[in-house]
Structure formats: C-alpha cells, structure tokens
Amino acid sequence: MGDKIEVLSGDDEIEEGSFIGASDNFVVWVDDDGDMNTSDLNSVTVRKV
C-alpha cells in the first residue's frame, strides 16, 4: 500500500488510511479497517502523516 494519509473535511479528520491513487479529482485510499474509499478532492484535504 501507499503512504499513510489523513483525510480531512475542513478542520475535522474523517479518517486515516493508506493512499492508493488519484484520478479525475478523486483520491482512492484504504482506511485502517481495510475498507476502500474514494473522496472528492474538491471536498476534502489530504495530507501525508
């Protein structure tokens, strides 16, 4: 898996997980429970932890 990331909405943390990829303004990542997620980069901030 990729780098450890934190996904935020405003100042609130949504979840931490591992970066998989990004395409067409979406980030694909796996949370710490192993669930695959996609998040719209227009609505969230992603930072490496």
Q: Give 23's pLDDT tier (boundaries 50, 70, 90).
A: very high
Please check the confidence at residue 1 and state whether its pLDDT lies above 80.
no
Q: Which residue has the higher pLDDT, 36 or 1?
A: 36
Give the chain's mean pLDDT. Answer: 94
Per DSSP bridges, beta strands 26-31 and 36-40 are antiparallel
Is residue 47 within 8 A of residue 13, CB to CB? The reply is no
d(CA 28, CA 22): 6
Phi first, then psi, for residue 13 (nearest 5°) are -75, 130
Q: Give 11's pLDDT tier (boundaries 50, 70, 90).
A: confident
Q: What is the pLDDT of residue 8?
A: 96
Q: Which residue has the higher pLDDT, 27 or 1?
A: 27
Range of the domain at 23: 4-48
Helix, coil or strand: residue 43: coil
- CA distance from start to end of the chain: 14
Number of domains into which the chain is organized: 1
